[in-house]
Amino acid sequence: MSRACGRTGQGIKTSMLDRPDSYARPKATHGTASAREAPPCAMVIFGAAGDLTKRLVVPALYNLANDHQLSEEFRLVGVDLTEMNAEQWCAHLTDAMKGYVAHDGEFHPDEFAQSTWRWLTERMSYLPGDLNNPETYRRLGEHLAGLDETGGSDGLLHRTLLNLLRSLQPLVSSWRLMMAR
């Protein structure tokens, strides 16, 4: 099982109480008063080492985190064929995010809030796996169950996602077979 990026050696369990003050999220800088925090959830990115993840998905999550629209229980799980661990995945994403501050692109922040990024990376984990292999879905289900235990969602998240994953795997395999023709 992969560890969270921002808390090497300590797994994925974090709370506001066990974090040093320097890790506290900064005040929202560009959110609206009507924006509300999303409910606790785990987001799974299939193809997590890909270009769209680093250019669009993760920068959007950074903006949501910076605007306090992600709950404390939010977790991000990356799944990809690329053999790497959570720390390597986060380092890859960190390099991309820092590059956006210096260059133009789809995501171009005025500044890069290290405390927001640290908060987000504390919630990231990574699992190498092939979407055509049922073992990937079994490992992901176990990983999500572990997130459920530490996230306080009483198993609802795990049960919902596990049912989705069970139905998704045959569809992904069928799609790949069609594309191979």
Q: Residue 50 maps to which CATH number?
A: 3.40.50.720
* pLDDT, greater one: 161 or 95: 95
Q: Is residue 21 part of a domain?
A: no
At 65-95, the pLDDT tens digits run 999 999 888 899 999 999 999 999 999 999 9
Cβ count near 56 (within 10 Å): 13
Q: How far apart are CA 157 and CA 149, in angstroms?
A: 10
Cβ count near 17 (within 10 Å): 5
Assign 115 a pLDDT band (cuts: 50, 70, 90). Answer: very high
**How many domains is the chain built from?**
1
Q: What's the whole-model pTM score?
A: 0.70
Q: Is residue 67 part of a domain?
A: yes
Q: Is residue 3 part of a domain?
A: no
What is the Cα 156 distance to its own chain's centre? 19
pLDDT of 49: 94
Q: Is residue 170 part of a domain?
A: yes
Q: How far apart are CA 60 and CA 57, in angstroms?
A: 5
Query: What is the average per-residue pLDDT within 17-24?
Result: 38
Q: Is residue 31 part of a domain?
A: no
Residue 119 structural domain: 38-180
SS3 105: coil
Mean pLDDT of the chain: 74
Q: Is residue 22 part of a domain?
A: no
* pLDDT, greater one: 87 or 105: 87
Residue 127 · residue 88 · CB < 8 Å = no
Q: Is residue 119 part of a domain?
A: yes
Q: How far apart are CA 149 and CA 134, in angstroms?
A: 23
Residue 53 · residue 105 · CB < 8 Å = no
Q: Is residue 8 part of a domain?
A: no
φ and ψ at residue 45, rounded to 5 degrees: -110, 115
Q: How far apart are the first and last CA of the chain?
A: 35
